[in-house]
Chains A and B, each alone.
Chain A
Amino acid sequence: MSIIVSILSTFNSKGLTAAEKRTAAFNKAVKGLGVTMAATFGASQITSFVKQSIKAFAEEDKAVRSLGLNLKSLGLAYDVKPIEEYIDKLQRATGVADSELRPAFQQLANATRSLSKSQEILGVALDISAATGKSVQQVTQALSRAYLGNKTSLGRLNIGITKADLATKSFDDILGDLSKRFTGQAAAAADTYAGKMARISIAADEAQEILGGKLVQALEMLGEGRGGITPLVDEMERFATYVGNIAVGLAQVTKDIEGLTGGKVKAGEALKPSKLLRWTSNLVPGVKAVLDLLQARADVANQPDVSPTRQLVKKLEAEKKITGEIKKQNKAKTEASKLDKAKSMLDLEKIQIEAALQGELTENEKLRLQLMKAIVNENADRATTLAEKLAKSQNELASLKAASYDFKPANPFDGWLQAIEAMRKGLASIGANVGTIPGAATASGGMSRLSVTPNMPEIPIFGGAGFITPQLATSNPTGMAQINITVQGTGGLDDQTKKAVVDAVVEASSYGTPTNWFRTTGSAVMPI
């Protein structure tokens, strides 16, 4: 064993918290039992015990009926009795009260719709609860959710189920693992001192419930022959009202007697039966008046307080209470927001944003991620700035896109025509005969057609005269491509037609056909 000299330490409450929970559970069990015992055997608590017994019976009865109805709605009505027996045995064996077991079982039955599966899961839940110190309800809730496919809460139980297990394993596999790992924990816990105390406490509770049940039964018996328990209840209420009225009346009689005797008889003395009798007999004629007065005073006493000052005070008190509640709620909200902020530091979304920001990004993508980060961090100022930047960036991007659509480059072959024209002019300047096309024939009527080799593509010519379609020149003995153009009127060819002619010549030449052009009629060379 090595010697360790600690330089920096941190406090790790893990384990201590669990121990505290267990101690608290033990204390609770002892206290519960103590309270039950004291309440059971304390002479002054008999009335209270009777009330509590009836209440406990009522609660149990309500829970049993609720479970029964629930099972009936699930189509399991015939299993209500066996389930009640099962829960009863389970609570005695494990020391977990039926008030905990019944809702747990109900929840599982709702989730699984199968009694055997619910019993199996409840058994595992009890083991886990005993091993981890978590409540049966908490564990059952997690398991029932997991059964329905939501395994998140199961992971939160911190019972050694990894995220990989949750993602890959089926519920049955996970349940099998848990069953193997925690088997026997509930039985072991029930065998501890705390467990035994809990079982005794449960037995005491059960006894109380049984007693409550019997008391209700006795009251029902009393109500028999009077139309059931409802008239009995009404009679009891009426009786209570009478008793209350008598108390108020007596107090009022005392005060009124003081008033009638001019203070000669004090209130305490007036309550003495002998004096009461004497004064009452002396006041026989006024008895009716006294009774009326009593009634009037009792009515006044029963009326709500209408004093404006008191009402105002009450109103102020109510407002103060409301303000206090609002303050409390605001404080809770502030604390919750602080907690949320702290949680957000380890938020998955945040991690993803951070990870994404590490990669190679365009300026626009980076801005988007930073904006997401600011929103997640609830940093409004930064989010506004970044949103503006992002909008600007997106506008720039959009205008760039539009510019790219509008971009139409010039025809690169336009230069060719200019070059050919330059060549032609050059040839003309040295005296070459470039002004005529060999085989050109004159035709009458508007612009005729260009005749080219059969493989030549159709060349449309738009101009003043019309449309030119390539056509094989059949009359040309040399086999040269022949283009016949007839110009109407005295004017020359327009620029577009001239260009088309040049294109046709160039095209024909490019196909390997010797090409020339000339004028068949007239004297002027066409200026192209």
Chain B
Amino acid sequence: MPVAVKGLVETQRALRKFDPDFYKAMQSEIRPELSGMVREAKSLVPKYFLGGAMSDGTERESRTSRSRAFPTYDNVQIRRGLTYSMGKQKRQRNGWQSMYSLLNKSAMGAIVETAGRLNPGGDSRSQSNNPDAGRQFIDRANQISRPKQVGRGRKNQGRLAFAAVADNMGRAKAAIVDAIERAEAKYRSTTR
């Protein structure tokens, strides 16, 4: 489950202002934890997925009502899209804002990550010529990794980034929180 640290923004702001070197040190302590999870997520991306979905190096044209064609599977591109962020994300409507996060940026990566969350047997509104395309895609994706849960709700589960966070959460979370707390304690001791 994502951890909320009270006053994190203020701590970061204060550190950046008064002790930029220590802020950098704190970020460099956190960075390996995040990159470790990214490595873990990348390792879950197989080279081969499904015959029809594989990329042949050319960009496909859409043959449906959608303007953009269904993306092709390119493991290099998916791996490239798996990364981390140490900056603030956009604030959610409920007021929560992510400070440290893992990202899955590529289109195909996002599909592999989330396919079947809403319709485990495929979407009935599919415009594919193959009526079983959705189910086949999800089955293949499940072979790679079963969706893993991070926190509560349907939207907090996935096969790549979510799976990596779910597997690694305990260690990374503790290390990040520890780094921040140490930074905060040092900052307080210097300003006392």
Contacts and interface: CB of A to CB of B under 8 A. Distances in A.
B97 A4 contact: no
Interface stretch (A237-245, A253-261, A302-310, A345-353): A345-353
Contacts of A377: 191-192
Contacts of B150: 5
Interface string B89-111: 10100011111111111000110
Contact of B91 (A1, A12, A354, A379): A12
B114 A7 contact: no
Q: Which range contains the number of B residues in contact with the other chain?
A: 35 or more
B3 A7 contact: yes
B178 to A, nearest CB: 12
B104 A2 contact: yes
A8 B2 contact: yes
B34 interface: yes
The listed residue with most A CB atoms (<10 A of its CB), out of B99, B162, B176, is B99
A4 B155 CA distance: 11
B6 interface: yes
Interface string A125-150: 00000000000000000000000000
Nearest to A342: B10
A379 B18 contact: no
B44 interface: no
B165 interface: yes
Interface in B1-54: 2-9, 14, 17-18, 34, 37
A5 B37 CA distance: 11
A10 B101 contact: no
Interface stretch (A13-21, A176-184, A432-440): A13-21
Nearest to A8: B100
Contacts of B34: 7
Given A4-B89, A5-B102, A11 B114 contact: no
Contacts, number: 105
Given A2-B103, A4-B98, A351-B17, A9 B4 contact: yes
B3 A8 contact: yes
A346 B9 CA distance: 14
A474 to B, nearest CB: 85
A3 interface: yes
A6 interface: yes
A172 to B, nearest CB: 34
Contacts of A1: 110
Contacts of B100: 6-8
B101 A7 contact: yes
B5 A5 contact: no
A195 B5 CA distance: 39
Given A9-B96, A9-B98, A9-B99, A3 B3 contact: no
Given A9-B96, A10-B9, A351-B17, A4 B192 contact: no
A5 B172 CA distance: 13
Given A10-B8, A10-B96, A5 B101 contact: yes
Contact of A6 (B7, B17, B101): B101
Given A7-B165, A16-B95, 18 more contacts: A2-B103, A2-B110, A3-B110, A3-B162, A4-B101, A5-B104, A5-B150, A6-B98, A6-B101, A7-B3, A7-B169, A10-B9, A10-B96, A12-B97, A15-B95, A346-B14, A350-B191, A351-B17
30 contacts: A1-B110, A3-B114, A3-B161, A3-B162, A5-B101, A5-B104, A5-B162, A6-B98, A7-B3, A7-B37, A7-B173, A8-B8, A8-B100, A8-B173, A8-B177, A9-B2, A9-B3, A9-B4, A9-B96, A10-B7, A10-B9, A10-B96, A10-B99, A11-B4, A11-B6, A11-B95, A15-B95, A346-B17, A351-B17, A351-B18
